[in-house]
Amino acid sequence: MQNFLSLDNLQENEILQLITEALDYKNEKRSLPDLSKHSVATFFLENSTRTRTSFEVAIKKTGAEFYSIDVATSAIHKGESLQDTLDTLGSLNINAVVIRSSEEFYYEPIDTSLIKIVNGGDGAHEHPSQALLDLVTIYEEFNDFAGLNVLIMGDIKHSRVAKSNVKVMKRLGMNVNVFSPEIFKHEDNDFEYIYDIDQEIGNYDVVMLLRNQLERHDEDTLKLHQTYLADYGLSVDRYNKLKQGAIVMHPGPFNRDVEISSEILQFENIRINRQVTNGIYARIAILNYVLNN
Ligand code: CP
């Protein structure tokens, strides 16, 4: 058994295998893995609908036993450390735990000899299972990654989705640009910014929007939201400038009429619901990698 913490820890061929595996499960070309000898828990220290429920669906589809640990009533609130909590779950014969935490790199000091960790998101640092389902969605659409032009736009600074995706997309041969208001920029050499969205949006095969993370914004930043859609978001006008065959993605949850216009949510190029569905199969592949390897 092994941890699943970041796609940085996997070779490109391993990532491609997970993508193919997920699509094979989805298209019923491969039987779902039988993980009925294993048990998996979720422990979400930050809110979630998609990741948490999607892992729950994935766990149940594999036949593994499932335990949802309620953080609010857990001994974490009596001061128990994460290490001691995980050792306790491991001693209860739970094999792996999906964790989301607001703390970046929460997993680094943890000894995982008793239980394996699946990273369900660590602060603004990484969201590897989201990145994998995003890759599954792109591969399903284009059947290849090489040479695809990807634009990731929005609240880059606070986005673990952007941090995971930019790195892995480049490794897999995609050309990745980012766009954001100045205050949402994340300064890193891997992040190549564009500045004239209206001029350039038609160059991209994939446009990935990000949630404006209101809970991490101060009052000044919140003012930006009043004109965000027109200034920085995917408005109807910008949607109409997309390249033919381009797809629009968003990890969710989205702020309607802030980063994306409500009007376009049902348009044909939008893949948001498909991403959610693909998340089930990506996470089955992740569970198989963690428990069966
Ligand atoms: N995309 C995503 O991580 O959504 P949740 O916060 O609902 O899990």
CA distances from 43 to 65, 68, 70, 213 (A): 15, 7, 7, 21
Alpha carbon nearest to ligand 1 atom 1, residue: 251
Question: What are the DSSP calls for 141-208, one per residue?
Answer: HHS--TT-EEEEES-TTT-HHHHHHHHHHHHTT-EEEEE--GGG----TT--B-S-HHHHGGG-SEEE
pLDDT digits (tens, 9 = 90+) for 129-180: 999 999 999 999 999 999 999 999 999 999 999 999 999 999 999 999 999 9
Cα separation, 186 vs 209, in Å, equals 15
Measure 49 CA to ligand 1 centroid, in angstroms.
6
DSSP state for residue 54 in the 8-state scheme: H
Average pLDDT along the chain = 96
Residue 117 pLDDT exceeds 80: yes
pLDDT > 70: percent of the chain:
100
Residue with CA at minimum distance from ligand 1 atom 3: 51
Instruction: Work out the pLDDT band at 207, boundaries 50, 70, 90.
Output: very high
* Nearest atom in ligand 1 to 52's CA: 8
With beta carbons less than 8 A apart as the criterion, state whether 247 and 101 touch.
no
pTM of the model: 0.97
In angstroms, the CA 214 to CA 173 distance is 32
pLDDT, one tens digit per residue, over 25-71 is 999 999 999 999 999 999 999 999 999 999 999 999 999 999 999 99
Start-to-end CA span in the chain (Å): 6
- Ligand 1 atom closest to the Cα of residue 100 is 8
Report the share of the chain in percent with pLDDT over 90: 94
How many angstroms does the Cα of residue 275 sit away from the middle of ligand 1?
11
Residue 189's pLDDT is what?
Answer: 93
Ligand 1: which atom is nearest the Cα of residue 47? 6
At 24 the pLDDT is 98
Pocket of ligand 1 (CB under 6 A): 48-52, 130, 251-253
Ligand 1 center–CA 199 separation, angstroms = 31
pLDDT at 220 > cutoff 80: no
The whole-number pLDDT of residue 219 equals 76
Mutate-to-test residue for ligand 1 from 51, 101, 209, highest number of ligand atoms within 8 A of CB:
51
Q: What is the rounded average pLDDT of the residues 228-253?
A: 97
Q: Which atom of ligand 1 is nearest to the CA of 51?
A: 8
8-state DSSP, 9: G
pLDDT of residue 89: 98
Q: Which of 86, 84, 97, 112 is nearest to 40 (CA)?
A: 97
Q: Indicate which atom in ligand 1 lies nearest the CA of residue 252.
A: 1
Atom of ligand 1 nearest to the CA of 54: 8
Interval 264-274 mean pLDDT = 97
| Mean pLDDT within 109-134 | 98
Q: Which of 48, 119, 283 to mutate to test the pocket of ligand 1 (most atoms within 8 A of CB)?
A: 48
pLDDT surpasses 90 at 213: no
More confident residue, 32 or 223: 32
Instruction: Find the 253 Cα to ligand 1 centroid distance in Å.
Output: 6
Whole-number pLDDT of residue 223: 80
122, 126, 130: which to mutate for ligand 1, most atoms within 8 A of CB?
130
